[in-house]
């Protein structure tokens, strides 16, 4: 069964949207098979966002992701990688489609980094790599 790694980013926790996002995931029919609230350290975030290490927004995104507790999840279901990305919507919340998590619940707050509530793995290979980072015993 396919799995994906989802993060409810610190803005989701701060804004009290954990329940709303989990509701959408469960209503869609995906199964939550691991869930943990924690504060991410720099090492974990560096590994998680390794593909973006050279990007100009890297330091900002690490600061954002370290700004408070987040919730890490593993979801399971047929084509869940693609399906959660579809639920999440486009990276930029201003243009993310209404009906998506980012389109309905996120916006531009004028911060240098894009605060968009959720992360979802972008391929089954990324999911395996990211699940090993966040849930090494899984």
Q: Which residues are near ligand UDP by CB under 6 A? A: 57, 60-61, 91, 113-114, 116, 119, 122
Q: Nearest to Mg ion by Cβ — which residue?
A: 122
| Under 8 Å between Cβ of 67 and 37 | no
Could you tell which of Mg ion, ligand UDP, none binds residue 57, using a CB distance below 5 to 8 A set by kind?
ligand UDP
User: At closest approach, how far in Å is the CB of 110 from ligand UDP?
Assistant: 13
- Does the active-site annotation cover 48? no
3-state secondary structure of 61: helix
Confirm if 100 and 88 have CB atoms less than 8 A apart: yes
Which secondary structure element, helix H or strand E, spans residue 22, and what is its range?
helix 18-28
CB nearer to ligand UDP: pick between 104 and 113: 113
Helix, strand, coil percentages, rounded to 5, for the chain: 45, 15, 40
- 78-95 b/e with 16+ CB inside 10 Å = b? eebbebbbebbbeeebee
Instruction: Name the one range near Mg ion by CB under 5 A: 29-37, 106-114, 118-126, 130-138.
Output: 118-126
**Cβ at position 91, least distance to ligand UDP in Å:** 4
Least distance from ligand UDP to the Cβ atom of residue 137, Å:
25
> What is the set of active-site residues?
119
Tell me which residues touch Mg ion (CB under 5 A). 122
């Amino acid at each position: 069964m396919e799995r994906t790694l989802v993060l409810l980013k610190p803005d989701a926790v701060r804004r009290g949207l954990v329940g709303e996002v989990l509701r959408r995931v469960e209503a869609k029919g995906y199964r939550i098979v691991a869930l943990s609230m924690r504060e991410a350290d720099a090492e974990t975030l560096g590994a998680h966002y390794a593909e973006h290490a050279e990007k100009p927004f890297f330091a900002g995104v690490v600061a954002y992701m370290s700004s408070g507790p987040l919730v890490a999840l593993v979801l399971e279901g047929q084509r869940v990688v693609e399906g959660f990305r579809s639920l999440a919507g486009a990276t930029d919340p201003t243009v993310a489609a209404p009906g998506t998590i980012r389109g309905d619940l996120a916006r531009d707050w004028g911060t240098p980094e894009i605060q968009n509530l959720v992360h979802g793995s972008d391929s089954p290979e990324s999911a395996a790599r990211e699940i090993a980072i966040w849930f090494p015993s899984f």
